[in-house]
Amino acid sequence: FGANIPPGENDLLYAYRGLFGGYPGLFSMQPYYQKIQEYTRLENRDMWEYRLTLADEEIERLLSHVWELRNVNFDYFFFDENCSYRLLELLEVARPGLDLTSPFEYAAMPVDTVREVVDAGLVGQVDYRPSKRLELDTLTAALSAEQKVWVRQLADGEREDLADTGLDADAQRATYLAAYRYLRYRLNTAPRTTEMAARSLRLLRGARKPGGFSAPVVSTPPRPERGHRTSMLGLGVGYREFSEQGPAGNEALEYVDLNWRISYHDALDAMAGYPEGASLVMGNLALRWQDQEGVRLQRFDLVDIRSLSPRGEFFSPISWQVQLGLERLDDAPSQPLVAQINASGGGTWPVMKGVAYLMPALRFEYNADFREDWRLAPGINIGQLWQGTKYSAEIAGQWQDFSGAGDRKVLKLSGNYAWSADSSLRLSIDYRDQPWGHSHGVALSWRQHF
């Protein structure tokens, strides 16, 4: 089941229509091997297979119901009535008496629906299928810098063989295999030509010369449903000190934050079961109690998506981030609540057992304190991120140029310690250089996923 999306749909329009029901949803059937090729080869997704323990008569009942639903348009929403939710409904039909959908009245995250199916005892064997991109990355990681150069030359047709390289038989087979897989990866969506077919065959023959070489196996990561749950409740305290008088004439602020996130995962959450470098936050609400002000909305992120894909010798993906929501400028004199859209794109590189990123950015902000309510500010996001199953940390710097309204500069250090899959402590320290003054702050929060 999936949304019926027109070819060439704009990414922003796709996100908008998906959130607000702009697409019809349809059931479709196709050979399973084609779906595997689509995900692992063409879209470079890792796949997890959960084999269902349905009896023959239950499978027959499921297929009969799918036949009844052919050409029926359903509403499609990213949050709730999505692909995973509709599949739960099918399983309820297949095995009457099951109740899989009632926990997902307001939101149905795919990993949560998988967890529900596992808990219902419907899953037998579980298999992992890494993407072709990940298989290639694993293979090339074991090669020397010189071998990586030869891989590119072989794939590009600049070199016919490895006879003059001095490599032993195993190293030659590994280099040929990497070149073959790299070439096939590049040709995934390209029309097949006689020249490319001949080059692929030559590389494959080199990789399969007699010998004992076997390609490195991709290690199996933790299963997705065993990672942290997708909703989160947080309680924190914080302190901010100003170099001059801050809001309401105070030299310092103390506050308590209550944070509720509908879903899903941010970069500092425990990594087990989640893809590295990717974060998706939807419906993030923070309320703040502050002396003299009482309880107010501190921020609301409708959506905050970030993808940090490291660049290397063979691939140069674009890293990007999009954030949309409300944010209170708590160090400004009147602490205004502003509407903002942030978008950035750039590069990410492996550095010091983590990743470093550099992304030019634009911030579109509505601020009633400005003479011109709407402003567009170019800027730069730069940082270093380390992710782990227990410890995660990030150093982030941000600069934004609001022209006549001044520059905003922020340097922030954040750390997260997860003592279980669903419980963690997070600490952040920052320094801000804003048009209205300098300040530094510290915040500590307890976070519980549920």
* Cα-Cα end-to-end distance for the chain: 27
Sheet with 23-26, side-by-side order of all strands: 2-3, 23-26, 74-76
| Least confident among 208-212, 320-324, 446-450 | 208-212
Same domain, 239 and 346: yes
**Among 128, 148, 166, which residue terminates a domain?**
128
Same domain, 13 and 94: yes
**85-115 pLDDT, tens digit each:** 999 999 999 999 999 999 988 888 889 999 9
Same domain, 252 and 371: yes
**Among 160, 179, 207, which residue terminates a domain?**
207
Instruction: Identify the CA nearest to 299 among candidates 288, 309, 314, 312.
Output: 288
Contact in structure between 142 and 148 (CB atoms under 8 Å): no
Beta bridge partners of 254: 239
244 lies in some domain: yes
Polymer length of the chain: 450
212 lies in some domain: no
* 388/279 Cα distance (integer angstroms): 14
pLDDT over 80 at 13, yes or no: no
Same domain, 202 and 280: no
**Among 128, 154, 170, which residue terminates a domain?**
128
Using pLDDT thresholds of 50, 70 and 90, give the confidence band for residue 357.
very high
Same domain, 297 and 367: yes
What's phi and psi for 65, nearest 5 deg?
Answer: -70, -40
The domain in which residue 293 lies consists of 227-449
412 lies in some domain: yes
pLDDT over 90 at 299, yes or no: yes
Instruction: Identify the CA nearest to 262 among candidates 307, 322, 303, 306.
Output: 303
Report the chain's C-alpha Rg in angstroms.
26
Query: What CATH code is carried by the domain that includes residue 243?
Result: 2.40.160.40
Beta bridge partners of 256: 237, 289
Give the whole-number percent of the chain exceeding pLDDT 70: 99
Same domain, 139 and 185: yes
220 lies in some domain: no
Same domain, 64 and 174: no
Same domain, 379 and 263: yes
**370-379 pLDDT, tens digit each:** 778 899 999 9
pLDDT over 90 at 17, yes or no: no
Q: What is the pTM of this model?
A: 0.86
User: What mean pLDDT is predicted for residues 317-343?
Assistant: 94
Q: Which two tokens stand for residue 257?
A: 């934050």
389 lies in some domain: yes
Same domain, 289 and 431: yes
Using pLDDT thresholds of 50, 70 and 90, give the confidence band for residue 212.
low
**188-208 pLDDT, tens digit each:** 877 788 999 999 999 999 988
Burial class (CB in 10 A: 0-12, 13-18, 19+), 31: exposed
* 141/378 Cα distance (integer angstroms): 37
34 lies in some domain: yes
Q: What is the pLDDT of residue 393?
A: 98
Same domain, 137 and 274: no
Same domain, 374 and 396: yes
Same domain, 115 and 169: no
Specify the number of domains making up the chain: 3
64 lies in some domain: yes
**380-406 pLDDT, tens digit each:** 999 999 999 999 999 999 999 998 888
Using pLDDT thresholds of 50, 70 and 90, give the confidence band for residue 11.
low
